[in-house]
Structure 1
Amino acid sequence: MKTLLPTTIALLALFSSSTLADNWPSWRGPDNQGISYEKNVPVEWSKDKNIAWRLEMPGAAGSTPIVWEDNIFLTSVAGDDLVLMCIGTDGQEKWRSKLGSGNRDVRGDEGNSAAPSPSTDGKYVWAFFTNGSLGCFDFEGNEIWQFDVEDRYGEFDIQFGMTSTPVVHGDKLYLQLIHSGGAKVVALDKATGKEVWAVARPSDARAECEHSYASPIVYDGPEAKFLLTHGADYSIAYDLETGEELWRVGGLHPPGRYDVTLRFVSSPVAKDGMVVVPSAKRGITAAVKTTSKGNITDKKEDYFWTFDVTPDVPSPLIVDDYVYLCRENGNLIALDKATGKQLYEERTNRIRHRASPVYADGKIYLTGRDGMVTVVQAGPEFKIIAQNEIGEAIAASPVFSNGRIYLRTFDALWAIGE
């Protein structure tokens, strides 16, 4: 057996990391953590400065695009149609495929049926819409399989639509279907769409708390591996192969009272043995151990800490020794990762923030609903480096790939950088 020299191992690791950094295969990036590994990414831009191109979209959407090599995939409304689109990194549309029709706008300007983001493994791309249309396509736009999730698993009973983005891992595609009509967690064979397993997701949640607009994540660490679902008052981890429940954490409501409108929108994040679990509105944020077992709601030994504020809509971010929470009003909170102690809460852009924060090259990018992206220095001290305006409304999170930032506004797809 040939033994690799340490320098060779280091070079292979560097190559692997840089290759990974070029692609953005899911809405929260390569590891579902909102982290880009790229360097020298754009920091300053405007609608007529440092823009590579802008492509008008056929309709609005709040979904975050994904990127693999020279392909950008995104979902959109096109009139009454619900479509998956492929855009080249040169700004030219390659193809679009219709998965359904009958768009539904919700809460005024808050969103529509093209809320979930696509996912890719570098060979195929999967797209889901809030009406239950789910499909798999190859990179040339050929349909591999498609079916209606409501036909197979029951009609969705959820006020603002099933906005959860399915997650791809290994040979499976995972869905969380958390609503009042019978919540389920499902694993599909990603190549065929056939069911691998499906389990009921029991909860004692009531009223609107039964509804979830969050997305599942997969954690694949050396100490634990699981699918984490989020909604109906609990974060619940499942065995990736069998669907067995591994652990759950609740107690996320404000102490002393039950809020029947506390529906989860923000998704958890897991990194280096820690899961940061958000809730909603005036609920809490909890940091728990990835190695937990059973119902840990009242098991303090399975918590790192709890914090009495939650980001509500944007998802948390773990970077180095810090946890960042972007509140819906644009305030950024930095916490000490080990203790949960607040280091600061500072104002950025005082407008609704629906997008999740993204970290790249020592900086955190926060996207306001008005299209302004605030770039903040990462670390224990707050400093705004830049604020960039393009003048179009946005709910999608920024995407980093091959030296560029891609922003999907309600009007267009923007490529920022050279």
Structure 2
Amino acid sequence: MKTKIYLVLIVFTSQFIFSCSSETQNWTHFRGSNSDGHAAVEVAPLRWSETENVVWKVPVKGLGWSSPVVYGNQVWLTSAEKDGHEYYTLCFDLESGKLLDEKTLFTAENPQRIHGTNSYATPTPCIEEGRVYVHYGNFGTACINTDNFEVVWKREDMPCDHMQGPASSLLLYKDKLIVHLEGTKDPYVAALDKNTGETIWKSVRPKEIYDPLEPVYRKSYQTPIVINANGKELLISNSAYMCFAHDVNTGEVIWTIEYGYDSTVSQPLFYNGLVYVNSGWIFLDNRERFTQQYAIDPTGTGDVTKTHVKWMYEDEVPQIPTPVIVDGLMYMVHDRGMVTCLDAMTGKLVWKEELKGNFNSSPIYAAGNIYFINVKGECTIVKPGNTFQKVAENDVDGTVKAVPAFVGDKLILRSDKFLYAIK
């Protein structure tokens, strides 16, 4: 009897340790495995430079602003030639930085033009056991077997006039791979069967609303999230001009809010029963373009613009970086460096502090601190709370637009030329 009890305890303990290890060793999506900017780690690096606490540093072929994803001992990136003629995947060993696999997935003879600040490999992949999914917008979407590095399926038949290049990252939810292809003509979101790549559903933005808009105001680059609201599985997609909540299983639009114009990038958030979405750029009353942050009760139906918006804030709201919420406080860094801390439930200002530099990368909360990394690779680490508390400053050489991944005791950071493991 005692032997059986010991065996049960051993099995339970082993499963618990494996579960904890799996949670801290994997980083499966843009902004983490839960798409919330939180790293499930107990320790994280506080001090580093080009010569200090770098476990390994390896060159990355081509150019891409996509963020790394990690599963087990593999780190995956997408990249592309600067001219957009070739599109790559790269897989590195987590412990050593050794290149395990590199392949050219797609080619384009006459690729669409992109904005000078974008790349042809900006969408972040997503990963699960045995499979990694990669996306280059109009240029192609694919699934790769991570055990043998063979391509499982490819799609090159999903059109999009990006205008400024692709940027929306992938979302994996149960058996579905969610892709956003929202350009200047017939913007849409689709759910693909993750096993075959076949389309399960496709939802084109309503023509009666979008066709009268100038083409430039139809495009967006956001990455969606899935939430559960009153038992409904909702895909939250803050597109250009308005936000849509879809039934993630069917694509049906459950509710919408209308906010403005152009180029939504920042990812939605979900906290304590509220959805937080970013409007993208708005042009009103001859003001310089600005962005609004909305808090929405997600339980409504139809047009909920006038009924379910709990608060709206518009003073130095970021257009590109996504905020992070920690213990009821929202921390957001404006593209030009102003950090704003808000009460997430009321939208009231708690504090503001300006950091140096410009920001594209979204802040990440890891091991009790928030990491803000600017475009020049300078990282300011801040203690969350009711006042601004700087913990440390660090930097690496080069340009950083990707979101870092935190796994185990390492920070995986991508610049324009290198991939770093920092400990």
TM-score, normalised with respect to structure 1 = 0.89
Distance of 1:384 and 1:14 partners within structure 2:
33
State the shift of 1:270 in Å: 1.6
Q: Is the 8 A contact 1:316 1:357 kept in 2?
A: yes
Q: Is the 8 A contact 1:105 1:113 kept in 2?
A: no
Query: For residue 327 of structure 1, what is the aligned residue in structure 2?
Result: 334
Question: What is the RMSD of the two structures over their aligned residues, measured on CA atoms?
Answer: 2.3
- The SS at the match of 1:197 is strand
State the shift of 1:273 in Å: 1.5
Identity %: 28
- The SS at the match of 1:279 is strand
State the shift of 1:176 in Å: 1.7
Query: For residue 181 of structure 2, what is the aligned residue in structure 1?
Result: 177
- The SS at the match of 2:279 is coil
Distance of 2:397 and 2:206 partners within structure 1:
44
CA distances 1:113-163 after superposition (whole Å, capped 9, x unpaired): 111111112220010113431100010210000021xx2x4x322211232
What is the number of equivalent residue pairs in this alignment? 395
Moved more, 99-108 or 128-137: 99-108
* Amino acid paired to 1:238: H
Query: For residue 3 of structure 1, what is the aligned residue in structure 2?
Result: none
Runs of 5+ in structure 2 lacking a partner?
A: 1-10, 282-289
Distance of 2:106 and 2:202 partners within structure 1:
24
- The SS at the match of 1:284 is strand
Q: Is the 8 A contact 2:240 2:280 kept in 1?
A: no
- Does residue 124 (structure 1) correspond to residue 168 (structure 2)? The answer is no
State the shift of 1:340 in Å: 0.9
CA distances 1:335-364 after superposition (whole Å, capped 9, x unpaired): 012211010111112x22011111112211
Q: Is the 8 A contact 1:53 1:414 kept in 2?
A: yes
- Does residue 243 (structure 1) correspond to residue 246 (structure 2)? The answer is no
Mapping of residues 12-411 of structure 1, within 5 Å: 16-17=19-20, 19-78=22-81, 80-89=85-94, 90-102=96-108, 106-108=114-116, 110-139=117-146, 140-148=148-156, 151=157, 153=158, 155-202=159-206, 204-205=209-210, 206-207=213-214, 208-220=216-228, 223-251=231-259, 253=260, 262-281=262-281, 282-299=290-307, 302-309=308-315, 310-349=317-356, 351-411=357-417
- The SS at the match of 1:278 is strand
- The SS at the match of 1:227 is strand
State the shift of 1:178 in Å: 1.4
Q: Pick closer, same or farther for the CA change 1:104–1:376 going to 2, 3 Å.
A: farther
- The SS at the match of 1:283 is strand
Query: For residue 7 of structure 2, what is the aligned residue in structure 1?
Result: none
Distance of 1:17 and 1:209 partners within structure 2:
44
Distance of 1:161 and 1:52 partners within structure 2:
33
Distance of 2:204 and 2:62 partners within structure 1:
35
Distance of 1:24 and 1:130 partners within structure 2:
22
State the shift of 1:410 in Å: 0.4
Distance of 2:14 and 2:391 partners within structure 1:
32
